[in-house]
A = this chain, B = another copy of it.
Amino acid sequence: MAETPTIRFGVIGCADIARKVSRAVALAPNAALYEAVLQDPDVDAVYVPLPTSLHVRWAVLAARSKKHVLLEKPVALTASEFDEIVEACESNGVQFMDGTMWMHHPRTASMREFLSDAQRFGQLRSIHTHFTFAADADFLENDIRVKPDLDALGSLGDEGWYCVRAILWAANYELPKTVTASRNPELNQAGVILSCGASLQWEDGKVATFHCSFLTNLTMDITAVGTKGTLHVHDFIIPYEEKEASFYAATESGFDDLVTKWSSQPSKHVIKTDIPQEARMVSEFARLVADIKFKNSKPEKKWPTISRKTQLVLDAVQASIERGFEPVQIQE
């Protein structure tokens, strides 16, 4: 049997998260890490954890240099800016993937199975996601995520990205029809969002809400409710533990005869993983790149497609805030 081909990574950026992903590149069996320059012919792919305002420039440059692109989220400041990145990747035949690690945890696949099960979950009808953390004074003063010229989307681009992705993931990537931002988001003096929320409505009556904030205790929830079942997870972005992760699934919940207790309780599902989710992300990305490099495969379109949908919803939340919390129609 042939050896697993190794894909060689460069890193463009110096964010804290580069430390974590560099370790993930080392842990993934099919990836090696280089300090990168786009001109280096030995580099197959780049990981780009730059401030969002620099994404379009460097991701497009990387694609034009025939480097596959693993890009931190939010992928861009707007969907139309992201379209430039996608165009550059497509016309240069390189793979695009965003750095949403939890998508690659085996728990996510297991939760997907539950949500897709007509008997256990039924049809999705409502979702709530919540991602907040208590940023310290240094973060609120100096982090790129509170700077209008760096990560202008603030908490919405950082935490809201995960909330919106989880909602779209639960909805099988069906875009909502309308997005309405919640009133009084909190902004810093430069106008960058420190906390906000929104409600989303689909054509079929499905609804979702999310809330994100840099100003409150670390919390990361998905509550997804279907006609027959309920999913709960409280650590969806970063699991409590590195080697295993849980979720709670309930089916046809009800009460006893006198309505004094439940007739059945949600069941806890524990999913083990040998390598952490960030290494699984790098490994999946490297596999796609190796297929392109060694097997003449085409880039996998799923990843830029779901990045774009996520960005479209962020754009709509931002637009709704700017328009005084009016509902904004999503145009694909």
Contact = CB atoms under 8 A, between A and B. Distances in A.
Interface string A205-230: 10101010101111101010111111
A205 B188 CA distance: 13
Given A207-B184, A207-B211, A230 B217 contact: yes
A180, A232, A261, most chain B CB atoms within 10 A? A261
Interface stretch (A40-48, A86-94, A121-129, A148-156): A121-129
A209 B207 contact: no
A241 B223 CA distance: 22
A265 B240 CA distance: 7
A216 B253 CA distance: 10
Contacts of A217: 122, 225-230, 250-253
A226 B230 contact: no
B221 A241 contact: no
B182 A199 contact: yes
What copy number does this chain have within its complex? 2
A235 interface: yes
Contact of A130 (B17, B20, B225, B248): B225
Contacts of A261: 238-242
Nearest to A264: B240
Contacts of A232: 221, 234
Contacts of A255: 218, 238
B225 A132 contact: yes
A262 B242 CA distance: 9
A108 interface: no
Nearest to A277: B260
Contacts of A241: 261-262
Contacts of A226: 216-217
A260 B209 contact: no
A17, A216, A228, A230, most chain B CB atoms within 10 A? A216
A207 B234 contact: no
A57 interface: no
22 contacts: A19-B258, A20-B260, A125-B132, A128-B128, A128-B223, A130-B225, A134-B228, A178-B183, A180-B182, A184-B201, A184-B205, A184-B207, A197-B207, A213-B225, A216-B226, A216-B230, A217-B227, A217-B229, A217-B230, A217-B252, A219-B230, A240-B261
Given A16-B259, A180-B183, A199-B209, 14 more contacts: A122-B216, A125-B216, A128-B128, A133-B253, A182-B209, A184-B207, A195-B205, A218-B253, A219-B230, A234-B266, A238-B255, A238-B261, A239-B262, A242-B261
Interface of A: 16-17, 19-20, 23, 122, 125-126, 128, 130, 132-134, 178, 180, 182-184, 186, 195, 197, 199, 201, 205, 207, 209, 211, 213, 215-219, 221, 223, 225-230, 232, 234-235, 238-242, 248, 250-255, 258-262, 265-266, 276, 278, 325, 327
